Amino acid sequence: MKKVLLTLALVLVAQLGIAQDPTFKADVIKYLEISGQAKIFEIVTKDIAKTIPAEKQADFKKELDASIKDVVGKMADLYMVEFTHEDVKSAIKFYESPVGKKLTSKADVLYEKGQAIGQEWGMGLQSIVMKYMQ
């Protein structure tokens, strides 16, 4: 029992140490932004935003932006557990390179075409599942 408590305490201390490194978190957020991962939230909500009446768009946009900022912060916390600061710095270097910038610039196209591929696959998968459920 003491070993379990000690392990939990060490994990908690490690998490607090990571969470308190603002440079690391800032770099993770930078990575999420330049890699296009943060932009995915904007792409996903683009169609939702179109359903909001024009007179409410400004207020909606403020709340949406705050919501996206919050989720990006949570994603940053996740990345800080799974990757080292050096890993993140290396990823940033890649995304600042010409090929990294090209990859990021294609996020919209890749998302839309990837979504179509996923839907097509899902429909095919459904027929496979139905075949074996009989």
The answer to whether position 98 is within a domain reads yes
Split into its structural domains, the chain has a count of 1
Span 101-129, average pLDDT: 92
Taking CB atoms within 8 Å and a gap of at least 24, the contacts of 100-106 are: 100/34, 100/35, 103/35, 103/36, 104/34, 104/35, 104/36
Report if residue 6 sits inside a domain: no
Q: What is the pLDDT of residues 77-98, one digit of tens each?
A: 999 999 999 999 999 999 999 9
Mean pLDDT of 13-34: 80
Token digits of residue 127: 């027929």
- Calpha distance 92→28 (Å, rounded): 9
Is residue 10 one of the residues assigned to a domain?
Answer: no
Asked whether residue 14 is assigned to any structural domain, the reply reads: no
- For residues 75 and 37, the answer to whether their CB atoms sit within 8 Å is yes
- Nearest by Cα to 35 from 120, 117, 93, 115: 93
Asked if pLDDT for residue 5 goes beyond 50, the answer is no
15 domain-assigned: no
Nearest-5° Cα angle at 46, 40 to 48: 120
Q: What is the SS3 assignment for 9?
A: helix
8 belongs to a structural domain: no
Q: Domain range for residue 46?
A: 22-133
